[in-house]
Structure 1
Amino acid sequence: MTVTVGILYPGYSAEDDYPRLEGQLGGGVRLPLVHTLMREDAHRVDALLDVGGEDVLADGAAALAGHAPDAVVWACTSGSFVFGWEGAHTQVEKLAAAAGVPASSTSFAFVRAARALGVSRVAVAATYPADVAERFVEFLGRAGIRALTLTSRGIVTAAEVGTLGEDDVLDFVAANDHVDAEAVLVPDTALHTASLLDRLDERLGKPVLTANQVSVWEGLRLAGRTATAGLGALSRPQPVTE
């Protein structure tokens, strides 16, 4: 039986990770993607609040309806955690109501993926400006996940993040690990990581969770499907503790 996870993706940067991940999953999964409205490409709080606005996501859900998704994921980390813990919950509740199926966001996907792996101490390697990256750390803290270190690359636009090459991504993540971290979290769905999941885990010797990876895993979880390949450490997840 094929499972369909609808992806709502802001703008254009690393959306090609999703067909790649669909292929890596080995069949039985569809990941139709709708580009949601991005009035301004900026990792800045006001712009991100607009990117993740209720009207924008409702329009995206309507555009996905023809694909008959079993679940929908708002594939934008900063456009979800910037609303805060309660606001991000409200955001996905309204998205689920608009889509008529279970829904989540990348921010919650990071939390649930970390819990599935039994991880509570992490390093965060973020491409965002520092003030935005700090909000992600605060969001994780609400879930009992402690960031031992936070690195901010300071890139303002998703478009620029999407141009980073594989070697650059590998080196950036490896340089910003922490010896006591149980995993490294790499937020930003604008970053290409689908082809690097196993290499990242091998290079750091621990799980590396990236935004597009956890987004797909979360959608599959909502749809009742477990990945057995193609999602790095999350191909062998443990039960999630809510």
Structure 2
Amino acid sequence: MNATSVMRSDEIVRFNDASATARFGLIVLATDMTSERDLYRQLPRDNVAIHVTRIGFENPTTPENLQKMAPRLTEAAMLLQPLQPLKAICYSCTAASVAIGDDAVRTSIHAGVGGVPVVTPSGAARLAFAALGLRRISILTPYTVPTTEPMAAYFTKHGMELCHVECLGLEDDRDMARVSDETIIKAAIAIDRSDAEALFLSCTGLPAINVITEIERRIGKPVISSNQASAWAMSRLGGLHDHRPAEFGKLFECALPDLAFGEAA
């Protein structure tokens, strides 16, 4: 058996500038099939890295099951600690952020990874409407009525005026990830009301970014989706202020509102 001799190079090891890459953390449900793909599509690929960890979740998507994730958030966040510094961490579940509470989500993540800005899709959507200067909205969710009702109450509590709310009645987020473009477009147009200033398409599992610009073209109003709002907030927190992909709606033309993100999101 021939021995192999290994020698250390005398060359100096050089490193790329650590600040050249904007690094983000992403906490997704074990059943999530959409968030990672959507965020990578919306953020610039050359200088962004998304570091993903998953959190246990079992369907059906009910407020009770969503709340069960609360004690697991800190452990999930701890897996991202070695990757610091991170520009932001997104907890990619709209309904769970509402069921658990934005503040409670933020506190649990900070317990595991420190004071990194935390993005929730629900909080990012509120920031999106603030950036657009809009308050009257219609909401479409893929959930059942019992899971949609807390979503409506959340936006009402935070000062939004709801013109219409409708849901598709799905219980499994893996089914939500398979909803067709045609279905989303038709349902979004159907919930639009003359007094609504914008539409919100809830759920990070719903593949809505495909059709945002088409819906905006048809109704002549801004359309906000969970993954679009999250990507927009993350890009601005990451210093990507000039990142304005036209294919994902009017929101990317906006700056982040001049608010403390930890308070507003």
Q: Which of 234, 237, 240 is the aligned partner of 2:254?
A: 237
Q: What's the C-alpha RMSD, in Å, of the aligned pairs?
A: 1.9
Q: Who is 2:146 aligned against?
A: 131
**Distance across 2 between alignment mates of 1:170 and 1:213:** 16
Displacement of 1:115 after TM fit? Answer: 0.5
TM-score for both structures, normalised by structure 2 = 0.81
Q: 1:175 to 1:146 in 2, by over 3 A?
A: same
Structure 1 counterpart SS, 2:227: helix
Q: Which of 49, 72, 76 is the aligned partner of 2:67?
A: 49
Structure 1 counterpart SS, 2:210: helix
Q: Who is 1:21 aligned against?
A: 42
**Distance across 2 between alignment mates of 1:67 and 1:201:** 38
Q: 1:231 to 1:33 in 2, by over 3 A?
A: farther
Which has the greater radius of gyration? 2
**Distance across 1 between alignment mates of 2:105 and 2:214:** 34
Displacement of 1:97 after TM fit? Answer: 3.7
User: Which ranges in structure 2 are unaligned for 5 or more consecutive residues?
Assistant: 1-19, 260-265
Q: Answer yes or no: is the 8 Å Cα contact 1:120–1:145 preserved in 2.
A: yes
1:47 partner amino acid: N
**Distance across 2 between alignment mates of 1:204 and 1:8:** 33
Q: Answer yes or no: is the 8 Å Cα contact 1:21–1:231 preserved in 2.
A: yes
**Distance across 1 between alignment mates of 2:153 and 2:169:** 18
Task: For residues 21-57 of structure 1, give each alpha carbon's deviation from its aligned partner in whole angstroms, at most 9, with x where no partner exists.
Answer: 23xx46433333322211x122211101013x13x22
Structure 1 runs (4+) deviating above 4 angstroms are none
Q: 1:32 to 1:197 in 2, by over 3 A?
A: farther
1:99 aligns with 2:113: yes
TM-score for both structures, normalised by structure 1 = 0.88
Task: For residues 148-185 of structure 1, give each alpha carbon's deviation from its aligned partner in whole angstroms, at most 9, with x where no partner exists.
Answer: 11001111110111111111211121111111111100
2:206 partner amino acid: L
Q: Size of the alignment, in residue pairs? A: 234
Q: Relative contact order: is structure 1 or structure 2 higher (C-alpha 8 Å, sep ≥ 6)?
A: 1
Q: Who is 1:211 aligned against?
A: 226
